[in-house]
Structure 1
Amino acid sequence: MGTIDVAVLDQDAHGIPAAEYAEILDRRLPEHEVRLAATPDEHRRYLREATVVAGRNIDAKEVSTAENLRLFACNSAGVDHLPLDAFAEQGVAVTNASGVHGPNIAEHVLGSVLTFTRRLDEGRRRQQRREWRRFQSFTELAGSTVTVVGLGAIGEAVVERFEGFDVETVGVRHTVAKGGPTDEVVGYGDLPDVLPKTDVLVLACPLTETTEGLIGTAELEGLPTDAIIVNIARGGVIETPALVDAIRSNAIHGAALDVTDPEPLPSDHDLWGFENVFITPHVAGHTPKYWERRADVLVENLERITETGEYEGLRNQVL
């Protein structure tokens, strides 16, 4: 198979320009044509012309007009927002970015937890005040229990990075029989049983009918009052009003939120006002190496397509 026309849509999953990704692909795919759709006109034209499109958002109408499209390389791990029926009707293969977010997001989780336990935010505040006044850390991780909800690539990467901290780990997943890297694996139905012993609750699951509103008033009340919640899943996994109430009443120690519901979080939302809530604007996955890992998937798949001429059996293929 000869040259493949690859179009990169300009906006990444959260509105971040994809120029760097296009440059990486252009460098690593010299035998193919890589074009960045940087304007609305280019977006429409490249969708009509390209054989492979890399991006996150595309609607059913766009799929129907993409005459040459054979592969949509989704930039996110989740594909529930995509018109999969339209892709199937057009015979377009779809891949996702599962696995590329593990190292970067896991480091974000660890950084958030250490900020809480070592009170690094308080140290920063005292530095800004030029105040040499000692303070005690909140706790130590050693001997604590970390519960990770969702044992996909991200959840497993989180568990791996906690291994050196002498903690007990509990994994929560749909199919307990699959096991996992944690000391204990339980199903979603058993989550209430493990919450009372959970010091750090990490949410790393997809947003589904099962996980939407998974952490509500009852679950927050089930946690110890010194528990920390880190959400790098989706905002809807936590019932936001219940979380606000829990923070306000000191029912938990604090929360680190890279995702929120609603998102973006309105500037007048109550969550902004708490010193023990760390908010980042859905950027846990965005590091320079993330772009390279994302390119790894597409480069590998294009090599396979070039060799076989088939759009089947691709890495991370979901359709």
Structure 2
Amino acid sequence: MDTTLLLAHTISPDWSRDLVSELKTRLPEGLIENATTPAETTEKVVEADILVVGRLQNEWLAQAQELTLVQSLWAGVDMYPLDRIDEAGVAMANASGVHAKPIAEHVLGYMLQFERGLTQAVKNRRRGVWEHISGGELGTKTVGIIGVGEIGSRVSELATAFGMETVGTKRDTSSAPASIDTIFPASEYQTVLQQSDYLVLSCPLTETTEGLLGVDEFRMLNRDATVINVARGEIIDQTALVRALRSGMIQGAALDVFEQEPLPPESPLWDLSNVIVTPHMAWRSPQTTQRWADLLVENYRAVASKETDSIVNRVL
């Protein structure tokens, strides 16, 4: 096989180095290219059959002569020029499912911090205050999941293990994981809001989901509800969120994604006592490189054998 796979320079050097090391043990020698500069990507994309990207620059589609597949390392594809990729006759796949386990555990960590009062306990420790805090039990609560895909499904599995009631939305409700007690179509997300003690956003960013949670939606939530966002920052109206948190409209929020990243120093989210901020880190774990490699190897074989219908996670 002489199919070539190119990692674009828009992938973090640390990630690409580890990924190349893993792939070289599993794919034909000499057919993996790792571009470390814009010039190298521009040069090597001309003959690449598979282009692995973080960000994708439009000119690469025009320069590529052999390109069959654009492979994203992310689950979301909202940042890619899908129309131009499609017009170029190139397939595209995402990394759906690769990050589900670490993200779901991150979500569970958020819920435990709020439920057991750990956020307040940490603050008390810093102040040298010995104060008993009465924590609750997750098993008495309901988690609502907006977007029961790979990530949402894993969240529901972990929540079920704690005895939580699980409700969620899914574009296709004909199938849902056994760990979801009640599934609703995406259009009925407000019903999920009204039932949720913990509301988890794990849906893709689309025209429909942009600004999905605003002032009206925060009013539908229980005052003891906590909003958790591991999807995209733009799904929440951030100004409305700050207002809801300051006024006690909701109990708190745990956020791994934001409208602007890094979160600006002047953002009020840094200073609110009922907010947990993490720097878009939920997806990463020591196992991520291995899972990326598993996906790339499978899709490499599909392209090399000209069986593009068998490309995993194909979105175009």
- CA distance in 2: counterparts of 1:304 and 1:62, whole angstroms: 22
**CA distance in 2 between partners of 1:166 and 1:213 (Å):** 31
Alpha-carbon distance in 1 for matches of 2:115, 2:58: 47
Q: For residues 82-111 of structure 1, what are the alpha-carbon distances to aligned partners after superposition, in whole Å with 9 as ceiling and x for unaligned?
A: 223333333322111111111011011001
Candidates 99, 102, 106, aligned match of 1:101: 99
The correspondence for 2:167, drawn from 161, 165, 170, is: 170
In structure 2, the residue matched to 1:264 is 262
Q: Which residue of 2 aligns with 1:136?
A: 133
Tell me how far 1:304 sits from its aligned partner: 3.2
SS of the residue corresponding to residue 288 of structure 1 reads: coil
Q: CA deviation at 1:175?
A: 3.1
Gapped runs of 5+ residues in structure 2?
none
Alignment partners' CA distance in 2, 1:8 and 1:256: 33
Q: Deviations over 1:95-149 (max 9, x none)?
A: 11111111011011001111111122333334445x4724224421111111000
Report 1:227-306 matches (<5 A). Answer: 227-306=225-304
Structure 1 residues 15 and 77: CA distance shift in structure 2, 3 A:
farther
* Aligned pair partner of 2:152 in 138, 155, 170: 155
Deviation string, structure 1 residues 136-189 (Cα, Å, up to 9, x no partner): 244211111110000111110110111111111101123333344311111233
2:20 equivalent among 14, 18, 22: 22
Count of residues in correspondence between the two structures = 315
Q: Quick check: 1:123 aligned with 2:117? A: no
Maintained 8 Å contact 2:231/2:257: yes
Once structures 1 and 2 are overlaid, which stretch shifts more, 114-123 or 196-205?
114-123
Contact 2:147 2:186 (C-alpha < 8 Å) held by counterparts: no
Partner of 2:85: helix, strand, or coil? helix
Which of 82, 85, 92 is matched with 1:84 structurally?
Answer: 82
Partner amino acid for 2:80?
A: L
Instruction: Encode CA deviations 1:43-99: one digit per residue, 9 max, x unaligned.
Output: 211222322111132233211101222221111122232223333333322111111
- Taking structure 2 as the reference length, the TM-score comes to 0.92
1:192 is displaced (CA, Å) by 2.6
Q: Matches of 1:18 and 1:39 in 2, distance apart?
A: 12
2:197–2:224 CA contact under 8 A, matched in 1: yes
Counterpart of 2:99 in structure 1: which amino acid?
A: H
Q: Distance in 1 between matches of 2:252 and 2:103?
A: 19
Q: Secondary structure at 1:18's aligned position in 2? A: helix
Whether 1:42 aligns to 2:40 is yes
Which segments of 5 or more consecutive residues in structure 1 lack a partner in the other structure? none
Secondary structure in 1 matching 2:70? strand
Aligned to 2:313: 316
Distance apart, 1:33 and its partner CA = 2.1
Contact 2:147 2:168 in 1 (8 A): yes
Work out the percentage of aligned pairs sharing the same amino acid: 39
Deviation for aligned residue 1:286: 1.1
SS of aligned partner of 2:218: helix
Whole-angstrom CA distance in 1 between matches of 2:132 and 2:44: 57
